[in-house]
Structure 1
């Protein structure tokens, strides 16, 4: 019942830390709304921020499984449900703020959802997250049995709907939406690599995912500008080949993939000490031990 307790009912500092990290963005985005008494500008900004955090947290929930395979940090499983439910909470905040912006006019809200395709797509994602949240309990897992795992694979489709909604409401500047789409591609590639039997603790599979995900991100951004806007797509693609700050989404996805390689190599199983020892051995040096042993 409490997000800071582990499965055995004991206090978990790890779970408490994750819980606090999940609620802090919500407090920060809602605070201006409360402070300004629901004024129009803070509400509109909070609608966008809550939507952004919904897809970020949803992608983090999809990261748990490959990250556990890479790091072998088994406690990550304990926070997967917590993170997934947090994505549902943020999307409900997103929907509630939209309703407030429409003066809680239910008829207008329903008509807008059906008439505006990007709202229809977004609402489909809301329904999907609601179903996953409602079936996230242990009782639901027992009742659904093997079907529970199949049902919760719908999170992949929900993430696609969320990314598409993000693109469509972003209009011209789709950098953040492209970044989220690129991270989703990377997460799917990690799953594909595992399905193919490639070890996610090996250098080449992780490097391959990094490169392919980075190129796919550049391709997604190019395709969006080419098909949905009047902005010259060739210029956008050329920009992805240059190093600049702030970085283009493709570079961010690629470098994040490289960071995952570092996480793997310098993980909690003593790999860092092994690497250092090998380097020193190649230099014909002996590691210096402290006097305390």
Structure 2
């Protein structure tokens, strides 16, 4: 009886306590980055700054998983894949876990001098922004359980809409700590912009499963990504922003974040188009949708 009760709450089971291969695969995938971080710390090469690479890796995965959490609803709408909503909470909690790991590794880098850590968070603006994002994630994590959802009622949805602001804070933190090389920060910001455009399209009553709508979002997100990158280099660095912007049109040298964002969005549009074609062909062949 106790085993069956535990099974209901295991991350790899559904609400009926039955094994879900989707949840099991997602749970294992969420553990892999952390496993690699700890493996590299324990068995990797000895470095002058042993925690620096792990610290940045944990931060990168925090942002990536935050974007993955925000992608669940658009994926569900575009591909009519309702089952994927069942892993959203698990991914969301993992965002908080990696953010806490990121903070813990920073404390380890500072020799667990918590007074110094607190002082640095107060004095350095990018750390203040990052800690504010972590506080917001902690608040969302603490209210992600069924009991909190029932207790908060309609206020739960309003509270968890803070995730968009938290995402912006996390990306600003990413930019500020990246200094001159903001390729990854720009890419993550572009993908965040793409996900926000999907939400705006829904609010504007566009059909998000329409490949034309998705392609339009992809083009706008790519242009916005190029604009974000240009603005960063123009306002925050001494690197010529015009040259960085022009590099977006020179794919032979390197593919810039704006191009990757556009390709990602267009890939989603193509996948939606293929699904639409399959949906039209299936009835003619007498096949049932699984």
TM-score, normalised to structure 2, is: 0.91
| Conserved? CA contact 2:222–2:259, under 8 Å | yes
SS at structure 1 position matched to 2:271 = helix
**2: CA distance, partners of 1:257 / 1:208:** 9
**What is the aligned partner in structure 2 of residue 238 from structure 1?**
246
**2: CA distance, partners of 1:189 / 1:135:** 27
| Conserved? CA contact 1:33–1:39, under 8 Å | no
**What is the aligned partner in structure 1 of residue 225 from structure 2?**
217
| Conserved? CA contact 1:57–1:83, under 8 Å | yes
Q: 1:206 and 2:214 equivalent?
A: yes
| Conserved? CA contact 1:214–1:253, under 8 Å | yes
| Conserved? CA contact 1:240–1:250, under 8 Å | yes
Residue from 260, 263, 284 that aligns with 1:255: 263
Consecutive unaligned residues of structure 2, counting only runs of 5 or more, are 1-8, 286-290
Give the CA deviation at 1:31. Answer: 1.1
Residue from 117, 126, 129 that aligns with 1:118: 126
SS at structure 1 position matched to 2:50 = helix
SS at structure 2 position matched to 1:266 = helix
Consecutive unaligned residues of structure 1, counting only runs of 5 or more, are 279-286, 288-293
| Conserved? CA contact 2:193–2:221, under 8 Å | yes
Distance 1:100 1:212, change over 3 A: same
Residue from 43, 54, 60 that aligns with 1:35: 43
Q: Which deviates further from its counterpart, 86-95 or 34-43?
A: 34-43
Q: Aligned ranges for residues 38-117 of structure 1 at < 5 Å?
A: 41-117=49-125
| Conserved? CA contact 1:40–1:101, under 8 Å | no
| Conserved? CA contact 2:211–2:270, under 8 Å | no
- Aligned-pair Cα RMSD in Å: 1.9
**2: CA distance, partners of 1:245 / 1:11:** 47
Distance 1:37 1:173, change over 3 A: closer
Residue from 248, 271, 285 that aligns with 2:277: 271
